[in-house]
Amino acid sequence: MNIKYPLNFKAAVLEGHNKPLAVDTVTFEGPLQKGQVLVKIHYSGICGKQIEEIQGTKPDPFLPHMLGHEGSGIVVDTGPGVKKVSKGDHVVLHWLKGSGIDASTPLYSRKGKRVNAGWITTFNEYGVISENRITPIPKDTDLRIACLLGCAVTTGIGVVLNEAKLKENESIAIFGCGGVGLNAIQGAKLSKGYPIIAVDKNPGNLAIAKKFGATHFLISDSKIIEEIRKITGSKGAKYVIIALGNPKAVETAVEASSIPGTVYFVGVPPAGSKITIDPFKIHMLRKLVGSCGGATFPDEHIPSYLGLYKKGDLKLDELVSLEVTLDNINQGINKMSSGINGRCIVSMNHSTR
């Protein structure tokens, strides 16, 4: 298709914290700048990061702005210098940098006023995306599940495979069995870890965790450390993944780890929150490690995980528990905020042809 500028399209805009997103027409005047790629977005995931942005868990100087950092779609135009993709390519959109140009952020407007946006946004029918936030995928890939490869899948699997490097029969506990946690469980299953202990306050999440490969299931309560030690023969888990933003979970996870042991901190607590840990617990050869995106390199890992999915070794369809249209995105956000099991995706209602 031939794109004419200025381009008007529908987008969900964050105008203020703890308010519904405004679904309205946004304009991109064009033309594309060096390293920018125009993508017709078909699907977007709703990540916990967007919930945090909406709730204002940290100061935000960029209001109003567009949101979303995991998506899928089809390239419809490319700016100067772009070599990684061409018109017609099917792509995954991701927040982590891959190869290619780190382009300038796009200029959008709404009702004559500037709307801020970063190098990637996916709560919109079209997006001007930086080349290094795009990875091409085969055209026979289902774009509905491809959007999950932009964050949830790569982060969850990556922290286990790329950072912990879990080995067969090594113990692991995953705190929080949402989108990222379920994929950490998948990573542990791929590595043949044992036991794979799923921890969550929601019994529904634990039921799904079983389908994804967890071998033991615990409701998070005051006895959680005791229960993990019972499962691991009093040792504690060699690796603990914290896939939620609760500061108290960090304190518990450290005590639930073995000596030596490593705790990977994936979830991000609200800005200004503090954690309290007995220094002796760390002194006893335990490590607390921050994980950013599961040490993922999109160019390598997205095709690899897609290959596992096509072989039947990775569950992606089962991650999607709710699909909403862009017009109804606030419904999906509310469901996510209340603790939906699995992942919610947003459809832009485009044909894949």
Q: Is residue 308 part of a domain?
A: no
Q: Is residue 304 part of a domain?
A: no
**Predicted local distance difference test score (pLDDT) of residue 353:** 35
Distance from C-alpha of 56 to C-alpha of 275, rounded to nearest angstrom? 20
Concatenating the DSSP letter of every residue in 237-271 gives EEEEEE-S--HHHHHHHHHHEEEEEEEEE-S-PPT
Q: Is residue 71 part of a domain?
A: yes
Same-domain status, 172 and 93: no
Instruction: Give CA angle at 88 (84, 94), nearest 5°.
Output: 50
Each residue's pLDDT tens digit, 225-284 = 999 999 999 999 999 999 988 888 888 999 999 999 999 999 877 777 888 888 888 888
What pairing do the DSSP bridges indicate for beta strands 36-45 and 22-28? unpaired
Distance from C-alpha of 288 to C-alpha of 323, rounded to nearest angstrom? 36
- List helix spans (H) across the chain: 48-55, 143-146, 152-158, 179-190, 203-212, 224-231, 247-256, 279-283, 298-310, 329-337
Same-domain status, 50 and 104: yes
How many CB atoms are closer than 10 A to CB 304? 15
Q: Is residue 309 part of a domain?
A: no
Angle between helices 329-337 and 48-55 (to 10 degrees): 90
Same-domain status, 143 and 166: no
Q: How far is CA 105 from CA 47, 67, 201, 332, in A?
A: 21, 13, 39, 27
Same-domain status, 178 and 233: yes
**96 and 56 Cβ atoms separated by less than 8 Å:** no
Each residue's pLDDT tens digit, 77-91 = 999 999 999 999 999
**Predicted local distance difference test score (pLDDT) of residue 352:** 44
**26 and 113 Cβ atoms separated by less than 8 Å:** no
**Predicted local distance difference test score (pLDDT) of residue 281:** 84
pTM for this entry: 0.94
We report the CATH number of the domain holding residue 218 as: 3.40.50.720
Same-domain status, 146 and 12: yes
We report the CATH number of the domain holding residue 39 as: 3.90.180.10
Distance from C-alpha of 166 to C-alpha of 157, rounded to nearest angstrom? 11
Residue identified by tokens 């927040």 is: 95
Same-domain status, 12 and 142: yes
Q: Is residue 310 part of a domain?
A: no
Per DSSP, 116 falls in state: B
Whether the bond into 260 is cis, omega within 30 of 0: yes
Q: How far is CA 336 from CA 46, 48, 53, 179, 345, in A?
A: 8, 8, 13, 10, 10
Q: Which helix (H) or strand (E) holds 11?
A: strand 7-14
**Predicted local distance difference test score (pLDDT) of residue 155:** 96
Q: Is residue 115 part of a domain?
A: yes
Residue identified by tokens 């006023």 is: 113
Same-domain status, 115 and 15: yes
**Predicted local distance difference test score (pLDDT) of residue 350:** 66
Torsion sign, CA atoms 179, 181, 184, 186:
negative
> Of 39, 55, 50, 53, nearest to 92 (Cα)?
39
Total domain count for the chain? Answer: 2
Q: How many helices (H) and strands (E) does the chain have?
A: 10, 18
Same-domain status, 18 and 145: yes
Domain that holds residue 276: 152-294
**Predicted local distance difference test score (pLDDT) of residue 24:** 97
Using 70 as the pLDDT threshold, list the residues of the chain that sit under it.
1, 350-353
Distance from C-alpha of 314 to C-alpha of 309, rounded to nearest angstrom? 4
Q: Is residue 302 part of a domain?
A: no
Which residues on adjacent β-strands are paired with residue 199?
A: 175, 218
Q: Is residue 70 part of a domain?
A: yes
Residues 6+ apart with CB under 8 A from 79: 31, 32, 33, 34, 35, 36, 37, 103
